[in-house]
Amino acid sequence: MKGISKLSYLEIEASDLPAWQAFAERLGFQVIQTNPTELQLCMDDQSYRIIISQGPLDDLKTIGWAFPNVDVLSAYVSELAQKGITAVIASTELKEQRQVDELYIVSDLNGLQHEFAAGLKKSNGTFISTQLQSRFLTDEGLGHVLISTQDKATSVDFYQCLGLSITDTIAQEIAPGIVIDATFMHVNERHHSFAFAPMPPEAKRLHHLMIEVASIDDVGLAFDRCTSAQDPIVMSLGKHPNDEMFSFYVQSPSGLAVEVGYGGKLIDYKNWQIESFSKLSSWGHKQHRA
C-alpha cells in the first residue's frame, strides 16, 4: 500500500500558551504566535511542526501524516474505503489553516484525529533556533509519538490498515503483575514514527512525543536548560535498546512528556523483520531527582 511518507505535524490543545512558548524555546523550537489562541512550533523549513491551540484538554488532538502528492493521497483514501475506513475530506477553512493543498480526516478508536495531507507549504522565512548548536532531524518527519490505547490487537489491526508497519515490541514487567507492552510502528527509515501501549483509561492520549537533534551536545544542553528552569524530568539520560536513541524525557506544561534524543536507528523498512525486546531501556532513563 503506497501512502504515508512521514509524520508531518501534531496539534496539542493546551491551557497555558505562555508556559508552552517558554518551554518550547528551551527545547530549541522557533515559536510563532499566529493569533492569541495558537502557537506554531517550527523545527525546519516547513511552516510548522506542532500547533499548540488554546483549550482545556492538555492533550494531543491531531496527528498529521504527509503524502508525496495529491494523486498518492487520493489513491490511499480509495484503498482505505475498500477496507471499510471512511476518510472525510477537510473543509476549505481547515486546509487553509493547515497550509496544505489537500486534506482528509479519519478518527481512530483511541479518540485521535488523523489528518492525511498533501502539498504542505514551506515557511516564508528562515528557521532560526536560539538554542540549538546543530539542527533537528526531520528528513523522516518531525519525530515520533507514543499514545495510550485500551486494546492492543484492535489497535494493531487498525493502524496496519492505515499503512503503518510493526518495527518491534517491548514487554517489560515494571512492577509485580504490571507489564508495559509497547508496539512500535514505522512508515519510512525512522525506526518508529508511531507507537502505542495499553494504559489505564484515565491516562492522557499522548504519553510522549520525541524530537531528534543532530548533536549529542544538544541533548545535554537541553537537559541543562530544562533542569535550570525546574521543568520536571520524567526520565534521566539513557538509551533505548530498540531504536538505540540516547535521550531524556521532560514534562511539558500540559503534563505530556517530550523526549529529546540523538542517534536514533534507521532501518531498512522494506526488508525489516519484526523484533521483540524485554526491557524499555538499555541503561539510564531513571526517574530524575533534582
Whether 129 is in a domain gets the answer: no
Q: Say yes or no to pLDDT of 146 above 90.
A: yes
Do 36 and 94 lie in a common domain? yes
What Rg do the C-alpha atoms of the chain give, in angstroms?
Answer: 18
Do 148 and 283 lie in a common domain? yes
Question: According to the model, what pLDDT value does residue 66 have?
Answer: 98
Whether the predicted pLDDT of 1 surpasses 60: no
* Cβ atoms of residues 288 and 234 within 8 Å: yes
Same domain for 85 and 194? no
Residues 152 and 276 in one domain: yes
Q: Is the dihedral of CA 92, 49, 54, 197 positive or negative?
A: positive
**Tens digits of residue pLDDT in 39-67:** 999 999 999 999 999 999 999 999 999 99
Q: pLDDT band at 290, cuts 50/70/90? A: low
Q: Is residue 225 part of a domain?
A: yes
Q: Are 150 and 113 members of one domain?
A: no
Given pLDDT bands bounded at 50, 70 and 90, which one contains residue 253?
very high
The span from the CA of 223 to the CA of 163, in Å, is: 35
Q: What is the count of structural domains for the chain? A: 2
% of the chain surpassing 90 pLDDT:
89
Please indicate, yes or no, whether residues 93 and 201 belong to a single structural domain of this protein: no
Select from 85, 120, 155 the last residue of a domain: 120
Q: Which residue is listed with cell 483509561?
A: 201
Handedness of CA 110, 112, 116, 121 (dihedral sign): negative
**How many degrees, rounded to 5, is the angle at CA 115 between CA 96 and CA 256?**
105
Per-residue pLDDT, averaged over 138-143, amounts to 98
In this predicted model, which residue has the larger pLDDT, 265 or 177? Answer: 265
Report pLDDT for 162: 98
Task: Find, among 134, 115, 145, the residue nearest to 43 by Cα.
Answer: 134
pLDDT interval class at 289 (50, 70, 90): low
Which CATH number does the domain housing residue 264 bear? Answer: 3.10.180.10
Are residues 281 and 150 part of one domain? yes
pLDDT recorded at residue 111: 87
Cell reading at 132: 540549538
Domain match, 147 and 283 both: yes
pLDDT in tens, 181-202: 999 999 999 999 999 999 988 9
Q: How far apart are the first and last CA of the chain?
A: 48
Q: Is residue 95 part of a domain?
A: yes
Q: Which of 1-15, 91-105, 204-218, 240-254 has the lowest mean pLDDT?
A: 1-15
Beta strand residue intervals within 143-202, DSSP E: 144-149, 165-175, 178-186, 194-198
User: Nearest CA to 54 among 43, 32, 34, 39?
Assistant: 39
Both 31 and 77 in a single domain? Answer: yes
Nearest to 191 by CA among 239, 227, 237: 239
105 within a domain of the structure (yes/no): yes
Residue among 115, 121, 144 at smallest CA distance from 259: 144
> Average pLDDT, stretch 140-159?
96
Residues 27-58 as b/e (b if ≥16 CB within 10 A, e otherwise) read bbbbbeeeeeebbbbbbbebbbbbbbbeeeeb
Residue 106's H or E segment, with its range, is: strand 102-107
Whether residues 155 and 82 share a domain: the answer is no
* Region of poorest pLDDT, from 161-165, 240-244, 267-271: 267-271
The CA distance from 218 to 209, in Å, is: 17
Examine the pLDDT at 115 and tell me if it is beyond 80.
yes
| 175 within domain boundaries | yes
CB 204 within 8 A of CB 253: no
CB contact at 8 A, 200 and 180:
no
| Domain limits for position 184 | 143-287
Report whether pLDDT(119) > 60: yes
